Amino acid sequence: MLEAAPDVDPEVHARRWRILGVALVVGFMSLLDVTIVNVALPSLRAGLDASASTAQWVVSGYALAFGLTLVAGGRLGDAYGRRRLMAIGLIGFIVSSAAVGLAPNALIVVVARLAQGASAGFLTPQNSGLIQDLFTGDERGRAFGLFGFTVSISSALGPVIGGLVLQAAGEEDGWRWLFLVNIPIGLVALVGIWRMVPGRSAAQRTADARIDVAGALLLGLTVLCVLLPVVRLEGGDRLPLLLLLAVPVLLWGFVRWEQRLVARGGAPLLDVGLLRQVPGYAGGLAVGTLYFTGFTGVFLVLSVFLQEGRGLSPLTAGLLLTPFAVGSAVTAPLAGRVINRIGRPLTVVALAVMMTGVLATALLVPGREDTALVAVLVPALLVAGLGGGGVISPNFTLTLAEVPTRMGGAAGGALQTGQRIGSATGAAVLMTAYQVALAQGTSPDTALRVALVTALVLLSVAMVTAVRALRAP
């Protein structure tokens, strides 16, 4: 058995895999709620008599609040302990899920979804922080492999689980059960967190626990000015795009503030020195962001195409997307086991395989229906999933490998913030490409091909970045 990580109690080290299991269940819940609601939007709009713009905020508001709180949540976990932040985040997630499920009107649904996303932002970075705290060497790669597996399948299984719940609970109020089901699962997970996850370590109790409020506000405004225009673009609102002009100024202000705080001996929200001092961190952050920009929107576009272009039910459309999850389930744990021996070439190869699957989908799916559609879509998405599973977990492992444990949560939160920004941006860009193509009078088949080619262009940028990271010392 490997030696325990520094400052880890031997009893905690002995149950590290069970602790990881509890953390991954919670992580799966929070990530699943990013996509599970997509198939329920028609039911939600009918049940609450909500506009299309309001329904879009049910999806976008969660992603926006999620992205805003990730780094701050990670930093709070670094300072005050993973167990405390996971408990606070999960309680907030449970309460807000109940509020969404029992909401009498659309306004309360949107507000509760914002609270639910913020709670998820406190929860999720504790996963990477715990892995940094509890695992070393090859075991850390295996742990990140399981985490990457969780990230991959949560995105792919969201539409399937949503379709199953809607079919079982009925169209009228079925959307409510997508959120109410979080309550019993969350309560069980809360008990597991309190009994299994360790509290503050000796190092955390003696470390500077002051929170960089100014840094959190500057970074929050930066993320807001990126995400808000993106999520509003999906609803056709282009005026918020002006906020993008403020991003470079706010980002510069955040970096300068953090540098000054470190120079004065303070406790920064995110030590930006990581970008140049820690090998592989900046490149891994870029690869993760660009990969999620290219791959996340593929599911949304395919789901819309299968339902509107082929007339399939939400459940059937979701089931046709599961081969990606199957492929990821195979390769993510395997990639985690071998990443420390193979290194960055694994990410490059996995990206190439993933892009091959997306290219096959773009070339073969348009023009096919029924059995012929299934015959080409299933293997193409399986190949894409086999590649996708080999990107996320190795990138986590390599990006955070040299990050000191005192910054593990904040650094992991920054990495996941990039993923959330990439996901939101990619979904908006691909859906916009699909809808613009339809508006010009093309068929759904041609619109799908346009959107998937757009995804391939974005993934190509991720590939170039990964190759550059491969050549870096």
pLDDT, tens only, 424-448: 778 778 888 888 888 888 888 999 9
**What does the block give as tokens for 58?**
């049910």
What average pLDDT does the segment 107-119 reach?
A: 90
The CA distance from 239 to 4, in Å, is 53
Does 205 score more than 70 pLDDT?
no
At 298-315, the pLDDT tens digits run 887 888 888 888 888 777
> What confidence score (pLDDT) does residue 4 get?
46
Distant-in-sequence, close-in-space partners of 113: CB < 8 Å, separation ≥ 6 = 57, 58, 61, 62, 65, 96, 100
Distant-in-sequence contacts of 357-364, Cβ < 8 A, 24+ apart: 357/381, 357/382, 357/383, 357/384, 357/385, 357/386, 357/387, 358/295, 358/298, 358/384, 358/452, 358/455, 358/456, 358/459, 359/452, 359/456, 361/298, 361/302, 361/452, 362/448, 362/449, 362/452, 362/453, 362/456
Please report which confidence band the pLDDT of residue 210 belongs to, taking 50, 70 and 90 as the band edges.
low
> What confidence score (pLDDT) does residue 202 get?
58
The pTM score is 0.79
Q: Which of residues 248 and 4 earns the better pLDDT score?
A: 248
Does 3 score more than 50 pLDDT?
no
Does 119 score more than 60 pLDDT?
yes
At 10-23, the pLDDT tens digits run 777 788 888 888 88
At 130-142, the pLDDT tens digits run 888 888 877 887 8
Does 77 score more than 70 pLDDT?
yes
Q: Which of residues 359 and 321 earns the better pLDDT score?
A: 359
Mean pLDDT for all residues in the chain? 82
> What confidence score (pLDDT) does residue 426 get?
80
Does 209 score more than 90 pLDDT?
no
Q: Can you give the three-state secondary structure of 332-374, one letter per residue? A: HHHHHHHHHHHCCHHHHHHHHHHHHHHHHHHHHCCCCCHHHHH
CATH architecture of 10-471: Up-down Bundle (1.20)
**What does the block give as tokens for 282?**
């900046």
Please report which confidence band the pLDDT of residue 5 belongs to, taking 50, 70 and 90 as the band edges.
low
Range with top average pLDDT, 43-52, 232-241, 334-343, 461-470 = 461-470
* Structural contact between residues 390 and 353, judged by C-beta atoms closer than 8 angstroms: yes
The CA distance from 347 to 133, in Å, is 24
Kindly report which listed range (193-202, 356-365, 378-387, 458-467) carries the lowest average pLDDT score.
193-202
> What confidence score (pLDDT) does residue 234 get?
60
Does 379 score more than 90 pLDDT?
yes
- Looking up tokens 């389930």 gives 329
The phi-psi region of residue 313 (left if phi > 0; otherwise alpha if psi is between -120 and 50; otherwise beta) is: beta
Per DSSP, 278 falls in state: S
At 243-254, the pLDDT tens digits run 888 889 988 988
Kindly report which listed range (216-220, 321-325, 375-379) carries the lowest average pLDDT score.
216-220
The domain segmentation of the chain, as residue ranges, is 10-471
